[in-house]
Amino acid sequence: MRWYTYDVLGGAHRGRSIGGQVSESEYADIEANGDSVQQFARDLGRLRLQADNPTLARLQAETGISRTVLSEAFNGAKLPTARTVDGIVRACGEDPGPWLDRRDTLATRRETSNVETTAPRASTTGISRRAAVLLAAGTFLAGVAGSAVTTTLVVSNALAAGPGSPQITVETGEDPAATACVEDARVATGDTRADNSLLEIVWSDKCQAGWGRVTRYDGLAQGNTVTIAIYPETSPDGPSRQEATEHDVQGAYTTLVVRPSPDTLLCAEGSFTVDGERIDLGDPLCI
């Protein structure tokens, strides 16, 4: 059998191995399509080896991504999410930018070939590179949270000090990943909840707006749901309440809630299901 080599960022080519060998049939597929999910997974595996081959347990602790999801990323069973790619590459000490570009190209090609007809969802799967940056804001926090269920992790005890006037005008209900709010996004507060799940509020000073996020680490996303809601404390069930329920994902985030006044607290609450049974994440998290 004839063998070819593949450069992780430069594409398939004949010659001395840079990124590893591929078979002639797979080379033809790469030449025709530009890349493959299986090759992407192998290259992630090589990156892991170059970083002294950290265990899945260690990667889980550093990234907050379950071992099941990490294993899927390395075995090529399916294209990993942008957040998973970002977490793995950062943990291995490399710049995630080129890898995210490559992952997005693969995702776009697969979506085109499958002729997707469903609208995009604000979840941790199938998201854009910009949304990956949004989700990565709390990666370190999530990794630490996974080690202590009873610990409350607070990044900031208060929202931005100052006049309370937004520098960027956004509206309640907008997807934060589609706004400039992601540019200064930070996890304002986070708390570990049932089954090592993580409930967070992400905040943008420039937008004077926040959004809720919940992440599960039990690896039981398939066939189950994740629900997250955020609202002004003064009106839990009012028109500003934003809620999202996602299926077959490890986590989800809400759309924006613009803080109505500098004195108004924002609160988040969430839940997820296991075999159809709802697991409530307890009292609201407010800041």
Q: How many Å separate Cα 286 from the centre of its chain?
A: 22
pLDDT for the residue 32: 46
Give yes or no for residue 66 having a pLDDT over 70.
yes
Tokens 């399916």 identify what position? 78
Q: Which pLDDT score is estimated for 111? A: 61
| Residue 261 CB neighbour total at 10 angstroms | 9
Q: At what angle do helices 96-114 and 37-50 cross, to 10 degrees?
A: 160
Give the pair of three-digit tokens for residue 120.
């995009």
Dihedral class, residue 185 (left if φ above 0, else alpha if ψ from -120 to 50, else beta): beta
Find out whether 9 and 2 touch, Cβ atoms under 8 Å. Answer: no
Average pLDDT over residues 214-232: 92
Determine the Cα–Cα distance for residues 141 and 154; give it in Å rounded to an integer.
Answer: 9
Domain ranges, ordered by start, for the chain: 3-114, 129-286
109-156: pLDDT as tens digits: 766 555 444 434 434 333 444 444 455 444 434 343 333 333 334 444
- Residues 227-265: tens digit of each pLDDT: 999 999 999 999 999 999 999 888 899 999 999 998 999
CA distances in angstroms from 54 to 19, 45, 66, 241, listed in the order given: 19, 10, 14, 42
pLDDT at 68: 83
How many C-beta atoms lie closer than 10 Å to residue 274's C-beta? Answer: 15
- The sheet carrying 3-7 orders its strands as 11-13, 3-7, 21-23
**How many beta carbons lie within 10 A of that of residue 79, not counting itself?**
21
158 burial (CB, 10 Å; 0-12 / 13-18 / 19+) is exposed
**What's at 261, amino acid-wise?**
S
CA atoms within 13 A on the CB side of 150: 0
CB within 8 Å of 114: residues ≥ 6 apart: none
The two structure tokens encoding residue 198: 């993580």
User: What is the pLDDT at residue 12?
Assistant: 36
Alpha carbons 151 and 135: distance in angstroms, whole number: 21
pTM: 0.52
Question: Would the CA dihedral through 216, 221, 223, 225 be positive or negative?
Answer: positive
Round the average pLDDT of the chain to a whole number and report it: 76
Q: What is the pLDDT of residue 110?
A: 65
For residue 36, name the pLDDT band (cuts at 50, 70, 90).
confident
pLDDT at 223: 92
Token representation of residue 86:
């970002």
Nearest Cα neighbor of 223 from 246, 203, 202 is: 246
Rg (C-alpha) for the chain, rounded Å, is 20
Domain 3-114 top-level CATH class: mainly alpha
Task: Give the position of tokens 């999410």.
Answer: 81
Q: What is the DSSP letter of 119?
A: P
